[in-house]
Amino acid sequence: MKPQHLFLFIFLLIGFKSHSQKVFYTSNPKEANYKIFISKNEYEANWIVLKTNWIKNVKRGIWFEVNYKNEADLIVYVVNEKYLADKVVFFTKYESKIKY
């Protein structure tokens, strides 16, 4: 394999992995990367994301819920009040509406 191809392969491998969105919902706010408020209104959301049931579909803005914290790329804590949140999240059904 030529060095240029090897570099491209490594770059693509790292690039795809870095946009992975495996999410763990924690009950401890201190271990979370973000405190999120789940909104029913997409117009007040900072992040509009799509949930998937298939781990092969994960990418930026498409979340797959994992059961263990060490498997996750993103650890979130769900708050009940919007003013306590770092990010407001709306879950969409359409990939074209993703905003992350």
The ranges assigned to domains in the chain are: 20-97
Q: How far apart are CA 78 and CA 27, in angstroms?
A: 8
Global pTM value: 0.77
Per-residue pLDDT, 50: 92
Per-residue pLDDT, 4: 55
Per-residue pLDDT, 88: 97
The low-confidence residues of the chain, meaning pLDDT below 50, are: 7-18
Q: How far apart are CA 81 and CA 84, in angstroms?
A: 6
